[in-house]
Amino acid sequence: MAAKRTVEVELSTTGIGADGRPQRVPLVAGDTGGLALQAPPALEPELEGEHMLINIGPQHPATHGVLRLVLELDGETVVRCIPHIGYLHCGFEKIGEYRQYNQIIPWTDRDDYLNCVGNNIAFSLGAEMLFGIEITPRCTVLRVIGMELSRIISHLVWMGTTAIDIGAFTPFLWSFQERENVYNLLEGWVGARLTTSASRVGGMAADIPDGWLDGLKAFVRAFPKTLDECDRMLTKNAVWVGRTVGLGVMSPEEALNYGLSGPMLRASGVDYDVRKDFPYLDYETYDWEVPVGVHGDVYDRYLVRMEEMRQSVRIVEQAMARLPDGPVNVDDPRVILPPKHKATSEMESMIHHFKNVMEGPRPAIGESYVAVEAPKGEKGYYMVSDGSAKPVRWRIRPPSFVNLSAIPKMVEGHLLSDVIAINASIDIVMGEIDR
């Protein structure tokens, strides 16, 4: 497993510590004018104890959605942070009880809408568990490609929006350019840019079209260059370093206890990755590494996510090389519809088609919890079946909901402007938090 890479900071005005790691020292005005490196005076004595309340959100560009934070400030220091969520509560889990398994897939697009393909596949994995279906080898590899592509585009949005929050606009434009390339690929595959509904119980919505892999190859070749450019732009940038290092620190024990997952947990120094530790889709057979941070601050979260995108590219390359021929959908009449030409010409197939669509396939009584490593962390779908065509309970285990619940712990004691950076580093997506 990869150790965390160390970073040399060339441009930073804030200095480098003995361990070669950028240091964050508050800049304050010196006595003789000019800026000096020293700790700020504790508090202005006459203002001490006067607390102020401010409200950020729910409609605020830096809260990445409709999150609302009520902050109690002492001067500029946050002494208390109360998050209010639920402004995007849309009743996903209730609706799931009224839909057949395949009908739920469009909803999975919309709960974490930055990671649509990944959610589709995660849900299908859970449903296939309930039906006891083994998917085909080609489908397995295609799903790996889909999941990693969707991890890349999710991290890209994170990078772009976080950069905007911290004051750099360019990475946003670059990352959306790359996203457009992936959108084009997805559009060629399943016909939609964002809300893909790419998978089905027992297979995928469609096989990849001819020549699709060439487009993917071109993307995989070009994308690391963009990543390098962003890296040059941000990693050693004085402003970036100054505004991210040492903020929102979570120790590994705390991070585990708060239930953090994904890059948040790994940046805190716990090398838990669902793909490695509870593998699915044969992830154990790919050669890749889990980046782990050791400082648990905003900067390490950034490093971990950048490295994850590189590792995803590695996985996609290997998956492309091993993509086998063969059918995408399983040969299981319980869940897979007959081909269209048969459904319109043979009575048997038509009845089968009709029953499958109108009544829906019925899994055995049971329950399954299938977790995948989503870009935000451990995303799980828990389904309980009572033998009918619709689940009794469809539970989404939302990683960013749990990650966000640690925000009071992370921001208290920091400055107001750092709240924005810390909040951005959690990589929240409100659709998933509020569901």
Partner 1 sequence: MGLIDAPAPNVVSVEPAHSEGWITTRLDFLVNWGRANSLWPMPFGTACCAIEFMATAASKFDLARFGMERMGYSPRQADVLICAGRVPFKLAPVLRRIWQQMPQPKWAISMGACASTGGMFDNYAVVQGIDTIIPVDVYVPGCPPRPEALIHAIMMLQKKVMKDRMSDTAARMEMEPDPESQLYIPPSRIDALSQQFGNSIPQTRSGQ
Partner 2 sequence: MSGFTVIRAGTAPDLPTPATPKRVPHRGGAANPSAEALKARFGDAIRRVDVVWGETSVTIDAAKVLDIVRWLHDDTSQSYEYLVDVTAVEFRDRALPIEVIWHLRSIKYRRFLRLKGLIEKGNPLSVPSVWAVYKGADWLERECYDMFGITFTGHPDLRRILLWEQYAEGFPLRKDFPLRGRFSRAEQLRQALSANPEARYSMEELSIADAFAELPLDMRERIKHGESTGE
**Residue 295 sits in the site that holds partner 2 (CB under 8 A):** yes
**Residue 431 sits in the site that holds partner 2 (CB under 8 A):** no
Nearest approach, Cβ of residue 281 and ligand SF4 (Å): 26
Contact 245, 16 (CB under 8 A): no
**Residue 89 sits in the site that holds partner 1 (CB under 8 A):** yes
Which residues, 355 to 384, sit near partner 1 by CB under 8 A? 359-360
From residue 118, how far is each of 46, 97, 257, 273, 374 by CA, in Å?
Answer: 54, 21, 26, 15, 7
Nearest approach, Cβ of residue 117 and ligand SF4 (Å): 15
Query: Please, which residue, 195 or 226, has the CB nearer to ligand SF4?
Result: 195
C-alpha span between 26 and 35 (Å, rounded): 10
Query: Please, which residue, 116 or 383, has the CB nearer to ligand SF4?
Result: 116
DSSP string of 39-106, one letter each residue: PPPS--GGGTT-EEEEEE-SSBGGGTBS-EEEEEEETTEEEEEEEE--TT---HHHHHTTS-HHHHHH
Max intra-chain CA distance, the chain:
92
**Residue 434 sits in the site that holds partner 2 (CB under 8 A):** yes
C-alpha span between 354 and 372 (Å, rounded): 33
Contacts of 254 (CB under 8 A, 6+ apart): 268, 406, 409
Residue type, 184: N
C-alpha span between 273 and 271 (Å, rounded): 6
Indicate the pairing of strand 377-385 with strand 366-374.
antiparallel
Query: Please, which residue, 116 or 292, has the CB nearer to ligand SF4?
Result: 116
Which residues, 133 to 162, sit near partner 2 by CB under 8 A? 134
Beta strands (DSSP E) in 292-374 are 366-374
C-alpha span between 205 and 189 (Å, rounded): 9
Which residues, 175 to 214, sit near partner 1 by CB under 8 A? 176-177, 179-180, 183, 193-195
Binder of residue 191, out of partner 2, partner 1, ligand SF4, none (CB less than 5 to 8 A by kind): none
**Residue 335 sits in the site that holds partner 1 (CB under 8 A):** no
Query: Please, which residue, 146 or 360, has the CB nearer to partner 1?
Result: 360
Pick the binder of partner 1 from 107, 158, 223, 288 (CB under 8 A): 107
Region of 24-32, 142-150, 154-162, 391-399 interacting with partner 2 (CB under 8 A): 391-399
C-alpha span between 102 and 260 (Å, rounded): 30
Nearest approach, Cβ of residue 402 and partner 2 (Å): 5
Q: Build a one-symbol-per-residue string for 45-74: x at contacts with partner 1 by CB under 8 A, - elsewhere.
A: -------------xxxx---xx--------
Which residues in this chain contact partner 1 in the complex, by CB under 8 A?
58-61, 65-66, 86-91, 94-95, 97-99, 103, 106-107, 109-110, 113-114, 157, 172-173, 176-177, 179-180, 183, 193-195, 359-360, 386, 388-390, 392, 430-431, 434
